[in-house]
Amino acid sequence: MASLAAPAPALPFDVRLMNGVATALFAVAGVGLVAAGAVALARSPWFPIRAIQLEGELQRNSVATIRANTTPRLAGNLLAIDLERARAVFESVPWVRQATLRRVWPDRLAVRLEEHRPVALWTEADGNHRLVNDRGEVFEANLGDVEDEDLPEFSGPPGTADAMLTLYRRLVPVFDALGRPVRTLQLSGRGSWRVTLDGGARIELGRGSDDEVVARSERFVRTVGQVTERWQRDLESADLRHADGYAVRMRGITTMVTPAAARTTKR
């Protein structure tokens, strides 16, 4: 017949307490050793960053400028460097939109840079100017570094630059047909659009979806030439917010035109 072994006697409370304290101390000591090792590794001469390899197309910055603005602010060797903090350092350089970093063993830091590509000026409510890139993002830069003097000017509520760039790209070919490029695009707080053309003519486009605004603009461009030819005056302004047509002001003349009336002007 099998016999049952007697259970081991329980340890006294003070012994169990000492064992728990010892385990905790060992854990704390282990964490401390790991932290100390990490600090020592970061400060050690092992795995130094001997070269920064810049990739990407640089037009606004030179390699020397990038390195001069970033190298003094990078901390740690190749193993210990904080790539997120290092990325922020590179993205703080003027004209840099985005930086992507990776370690290249044994001693290089590879950095791919994407620069902003300005496509428009952005006018703040206080009159100060910034720039809009080709992704519809507003960014800070020295305006004196922009070679293109014909950038259009946008103004609108904060956060609308992307939508403004989208509509602008659709309006450009419409008004280019008049031979008068769009110089400014404005969006009011109530969602109403206005463009100013080369030569100073102001066109009120009104509210609505992009498709609706573009359709009104196309109808205006198709017919306004007959009106200006009839009156032999330069276009000063136009209001496309009317349901059945648009109001036109020419130098010294104001009139209301419907598309049908414009088509019969020469009859």
Where exactly are the structural domains of the chain? 51-115, 118-263
Report the distance separating Cα 127 and Cα 157, nearest Å: 13
CATH H-level, domain 51-115: superfamily: membrane protein fhac (3.10.20.310)
pLDDT at residue 123 greater than cutoff 60: yes
* Distance from chain centroid for Cα 89: 18
| Residue 173: closest CA among 218, 211, 119 | 218
pLDDT at residue 189 greater than cutoff 50: yes
63-70 and 83-91 helices cross at what angle (nearest 10)? Answer: 130
What lies within 8 Å, CB to CB, of 29 at 6+ separation is none
pTM for the model: 0.77
CATH H-level, domain 118-263: superfamily: Cell division protein FtsQ/DivIB (3.40.50.11690)
pLDDT in tens, 66-84: 999 999 999 888 988 999 9
Least confident piece of the model among 29-33, 153-157, 191-195, 250-254: 29-33
Query: Hey, how many other C-beta atoms are within 10 angstroms of the C-beta on 83?
Result: 14
pLDDT for the residue 20: 58
pLDDT for the residue 260: 57
